[in-house]
Amino acid sequence: MDFSLTDEERAVRDTVRSFIQREVMPLEAEVLRRERAHQPGLDHSEVRELQLKARKFGFWGLATPEEYGGMNLPAVLQSLIWTELGRTFVPFRFGGEADNILFHATEEQKREFLVPTIEGERRSCFAITEPGAGSDAANIRLSARRDGDDWILDGEKTFITGGHDADFAIVVAVTDREKGARNGGATAFLVDRSMGWRSEFIQTMGEGGPASLIFDGVRVPHRNILGEIGQGFTLGMEWIGKGRYTIPSHAIGIAERVLQMAIDHANTRETFGAKIGTNQAIQWMIADSETELEAARWLVLRSAWTVDQGLDPRHASSMGKLYGAGMVNRVVDRVLQIHGGMGYTRELPIERWYRQVRLYRIFEGTDEMQRLIISRDLLRGYTKIGGHLA
């Protein structure tokens, strides 16, 4: 068994790390200042400028096939890169990406939606959640009714990331109520904002926020169906599947960064005439954090490796998402504690991370849903204890 990175993995990881350190981290103070003034940390054109700079370095379209100008990287490499991105709170990600399910588009749809999204000329959002259907996504109600060559969409989506800025939405709608969403009764549509849906921004405890999308008799041409009629739920699960290893990969980067801050603080802050790091109470918080961080790292890398092997990644990635999301919440909480009163202030970004990572236990499958998947696999005998080594 070999736990080391290959030379290529190490080289890519190190190049991304130096890009983030040189080009992105210097923006942190300004991002914090703007966010405290209730402005976006970076505006769209600034993110784009950084993305184009990264493109010159060769970082463009991590998951995008080469025929669309991307890098088509293996999942393990993508996971390592997401970890590097997690080391800064600046809201930056590499460009040249599109929602994974947009690659199911027809040639015409690719020209209209996929390619402009990859190029950063159009912005997408993915919408399955509704006010009455989150974890229970099969319970969606937003309906699409056939009318000649068109479909008429009625209903509401909620908590849609990027929904307030998107030019178009990938919307999973009910096309056959009798069948039910899970059994071929849901279909995905590509719906331009100009077709008439509207969005309402939702304030959250984090920076930025998702939106509700309202569809009131929105007419969508038949040619805007993504994939097949009845394939909507499957596509939705495919979209969500990607986040199951990228989210905890990001969490690992956050935990690495904040834990180092805690170590530095423990080695400098003095109370009762000694560094606080000489206290066992502080040492144990550091030790528990490092142990959990390492455990999360290997769970998550294994789930990405499972993707690269062409194996069913769901069981492994549910464990990675569950543990990685919990780990980063516990680590940030301990790091805040080690910083005492300063940890609670807005002079340091720790409270910002504290608010940000709470989301990781909720979106793209809550902790409880991951536990449901993991236990169901075992109870049904689909997965053996010990996973692929069993």
- The secondary element (H helix, E strand) that includes residue 173 is strand 168-174
The CB density around residue 195, as the number of other CB atoms within 10 Å, is: 18
Q: Is 151 helix (H, G, I), strand (E, B) or coil?
A: strand
Q: For the CB of residue 116, give the shortest distance to ligand FAD in the complex, in Å.
A: 19
Closest Cα partner for 65 from 20, 107, 111, 102?
A: 102
* Residue 219, beta-bridge partner list: 152
Q: For the CB of residue 387, give the shortest distance to ligand FAD in the complex, in Å.
A: 23
**Nearest CB to ligand FAD, comparing residues 127 and 299:** 127
DSSP letter, residue 111: I
CA distances to 194, 205, 314 from 359, rounded to whole Å, are 31, 9, 20
**Nearest CB to ligand FAD, comparing residues 76 and 142:** 142
**Nearest CB to ligand FAD, comparing residues 65 and 131:** 131
List interacting residues with ligand FAD (CB under 6 A). 126-129, 134-136, 159-161, 204, 210, 359, 362-364, 366, 368-369, 372
**Nearest CB to ligand FAD, comparing residues 85 and 140:** 140
Closest Cα partner for 361 from 331, 332, 325, 390?
A: 325
Q: For the CB of residue 16, give the shortest distance to ligand FAD in the complex, in Å.
A: 25
Q: For the CB of residue 136, give the shortest distance to ligand FAD in the complex, in Å.
A: 6
DSSP assignment string, 345-383: SSSSSHHHHHHHHHGGGTTTS-HHHHHHHHHHHHHTTSS
**What is the separation, in whole angstroms, between the first and last Cα of the chain?**
15
Q: Which of 30, 119, 364, 368 is catalytic?
A: 364
Q: For the CB of residue 372, give the shortest distance to ligand FAD in the complex, in Å.
A: 6
In whole angstroms, what is the distance from residue 279 CA to residue 264 CA?
A: 14
- Dig out the tokens for 71 from the structure: 């890098």
364 is catalytic: yes
Catalytic residues: 364
